Amino acid sequence: MKNQLLRLLKPLILSVLFLLVITNCQSCVGQYSEELLEQSTTSSDCRIVQHTLGKTCIPVKPRRIVALDPYFILDPLLSLGIKPVGTSIDNLQGKDYWGALSSEDVAGIERVGQTPQPSLERILMLKPDLILGTNGYGTQYYNQLSAIAPTILRDFRTEVEPSFKEHFRFIAQVVGQQEKAEEVLSQYQKRVEELHKAIGSQMSGIQVSVIHSAEGIFNQPGIKALFFQIMNDTGINIKSIFMDKPEWSTLSIEVINQYDADVVFILGDYGIPRTYLIENSLITSLKAFQNGRFYIVDLAAWMGYGPSAWNRILDDVSKYLLESK
């Protein structure tokens, strides 16, 4: 009887403890951080990392990491041989999305809610020693997260988006896997050089466009997007209309012809029906469509910032650009 009562009360006790920790720590986060910074000068178990919200003292070798973004954090960690204890997920209409990762890749990792609103209680129960995320969703929870464990949130626009390679190196530095990171980047560079050589003169003068389509709305990606960085590395000519547009922006279907190119990639949003695109007269009038160089690719896979996404993009680019060679 006593054991049954304890089992029934355990969730309630954990919830109360969680609220006490968060309430108490919200008022002492600043003091807590200062103490960590002071300890770092004398302790070999703690080192300071600068990020968009300041400085955080983290374990030298974190072992229980929670990743609060499957695209920008989880993918890089897994490629470095680091398996987090928990991760947030993206979910739309009841389906989970992991970017270029597969369900097998994330097997055994505890889910802590959706990326825009992670469960603080689940994170607390995992007893992390480091929380990694981006400021796109996590800033409003930063104080609460920092009360649970040292937390680093990267600014997407200034720290992540400009260079996927430097972002990857940063994650590797945080988890002490710099050497592994350079090996992964070396493998990427080898693939890029092989693709550049294979394309050769075939792509000379050939322009490429990438457009995002979702539920009848079309968007122009910013030139800093991962896939454009990879195309630049491979020597692919990106249509000039993208060059002076750093941010993503909505475009009207009526001006879709301005984005026509020798090759057009459409980022299909979460399984958008292909019939919606291939039955639209403004789409079918494009030169790329008429020449059979109009390709619908997986948005989720192309939007990640880890090696799984790099390789997926290189796979698609290789497949479609070399298919008529």
Based on the fold, state whether residues 51 and 155 are members of the same structural domain.
yes
Q: Does residue 197 surpass a pLDDT of 50?
A: yes
Which range, of 192-206, 247-261, 265-279, averages the lowest pLDDT?
A: 265-279
Q: What angle do CA 110, 71, 68 make, to 5 degrees?
A: 45
Answer yes or no: do 170 and 48 share one domain: yes
159 occurs within a structural domain: yes
Residue 182 lies in a domain: no
Instruction: Say how many domains are in the chain.
Output: 2
Q: Average of pLDDT values for 88-109?
A: 85
Residue 119 main-chain phi, psi, to 5 deg: -85, 110
Amino acid identity of residue 66, one-letter, is V
Domain-located, residue 187 = no
Residues 6+ apart with CB under 8 A from 229: 163, 164
What percentage of residues in the chain have a pLDDT greater than 90? 56
Q: Could you report the per-residue pLDDT of 219-228, keeping only the tens digit for each? A: 999 999 999 9
Residues 129 and 47 in one domain: yes
Question: Which residues, in sequence order, are bridge partners of residue 238?
Answer: 208
Q: Which of 76-80, 200-204, 272-276 has the lowest mean pLDDT?
A: 272-276
Which tens digit of pLDDT belongs to each residue from 259-271? 999 999 999 865 5
Q: Are residues 20 and 142 in the same domain?
A: yes
The helix/strand/coil state of 115 is coil
pLDDT at 324: 55
Q: Is 80 exceeded by the pLDDT of residue 22?
A: no
Same domain, residue pair 75 and 156? yes
Question: What's the confidence (pLDDT) of residue 117?
Answer: 87
Can you give the CATH number for the domain in which 276 is found? 3.40.50.1980
**Residue 172 sits in the same domain as residue 206:** no
Predicted confidence at residue 6, as pLDDT, reads: 42
User: Is residue 150 domain-resident?
Assistant: yes
User: Which tokens go with 319?
Assistant: 């497949």
Segment holding 308, helix H or strand E: helix 307-321
Residue 49 lies in a domain: yes
pTM for this prediction: 0.83
What is the average pLDDT value for the chain, to the nearest integer? Answer: 83
Position 54 scores a pLDDT of 84
Lowest mean pLDDT among 18-22, 67-71, 288-292: 18-22
Q: Are residues 116 and 237 in the same domain?
A: no
- Domain range for 261 is 200-321
- Sign of dihedral through CA atoms 242, 246, 248, 249? negative
Mean pLDDT of 60-79: 95
3-class SS of residue 307: helix
* pLDDT score at 303: 85
161 part of a folded domain: yes
Q: What single-letter amino acid sits at 230?
A: I
| pLDDT band at 116; cut points 50, 70, 90 | confident
pLDDT at 12 over 60: no
Which 8-state DSSP code applies to residue 45? T
Tell me what pLDDT residue 10 has. Answer: 44
Same domain membership, residue 237 and residue 172: no
